[in-house]
Amino acid sequence: MIAIDPALENTLASLDAASIQLEDVALALRTYAARIEADPERLQVVEDRLELIQRLKKKYAPHIQGVLAYKETIDREMEELMSREEDRDGLQKRLEELTDALRVKGEGLYSKRTAAAKLLESAMEKELSELAMKNARFQVAFERLPQAKSTGLERAEFLFSPNPGETPKHLRR
């Protein structure tokens, strides 16, 4: 080239210098690339995470701060729900304790009622005998309720039989 146009001599010198610099840069890049450890699994994890972030941004907020704010809101709601679950468990335990206490008190009330029923039966039969109904029978029967009420765990019924050998019937009939 210099033989054709000697004015290109400086340009050729610049090209030679640039070629040497390019070779040096290429060598440096090859050395750098040899030191880098490629981890395709890690790269896939990072790409998957970036894809997830993009989907979250598309769904919840246009920027990361909005997505993080939404996450904090959801975390608070979850905490409230878990707290409610704990409260519900505590209330359930308290209900079981109160149910046990109700059963114990109800059984005590039943014992007192049966004792009082025996006294009432005796007193009524004595009164009936004074009314010339010596063979009449008076009984107090208790029927267990399926669920406790304010009056107890059972309902009392008065039974009466005016004649001997006759089955006592409900007095209300």
Rounded-to-integer distance, Cα 116 and Cα 113, Å: 5
Rounded distance, CA 98 to CA 107, Å? 14
What tens digit of pLDDT does each residue of 120-153 get?
999 988 888 888 888 888 899 999 988 888 888 8
The answer to whether residue 103 is domain-embedded is yes
Helix, strand, coil percentages (3-state) for the chain, rounded to 5, are: 70, 15, 20
Total of domains in the chain? 1
Model confidence over 19-50: pLDDT tens digits? 999 999 999 999 988 888 878 888 899 999 99
Kindly state whether residue 21 falls inside one of the protein's structural domains: no
Give the C-alpha separation, 42 to 38, whole Å: 9
Q: Angle between the 64-130 and 40-59 helix axes, to the nearest 10 degrees?
A: 70
Instruction: Give the pLDDT band of residue 73 (cuts 50, 70, 90).
Output: very high
**pLDDT tens, position by position, 8-24:** 788 878 888 999 999 99
| Number of Cβ within a 10 Å radius of residue 138 | 21
Instruction: Report if residue 5 sits inside a domain.
Output: no
Domain-located, residue 88: yes
> What are the backbone angles phi and psi of residue 148, rounded to the nearest 5°?
-65, 145
Report yes or no on 80 lying in a domain: yes
50 within a domain of the structure (yes/no): yes
- The span from the first CA to the last CA of the chain, in angstroms, equals 135
Contact criterion met (CB below 8 Å) for 160 and 168: yes
Q: Is the pLDDT of residue 1 over 70?
A: no
Question: Above 90 in pLDDT, residue 7?
Answer: no
The strand pairing partners of 141, in sequence order, are: 157
Give the pTM.
0.48
Considering the domain boundaries, does residue 9 fall inside one? no
DSSP 6: G
Q: What is the pLDDT of residue 48?
A: 94
- Owning domain of residue 62: 42-170
Query: Rounded to the nearest 5 degrees, what angle is found at the Cα of 20, between the Cα atoms of 16 and 26?
Result: 140
What's the pLDDT at 2? 64
Is residue 33 assigned to a domain?
Answer: no
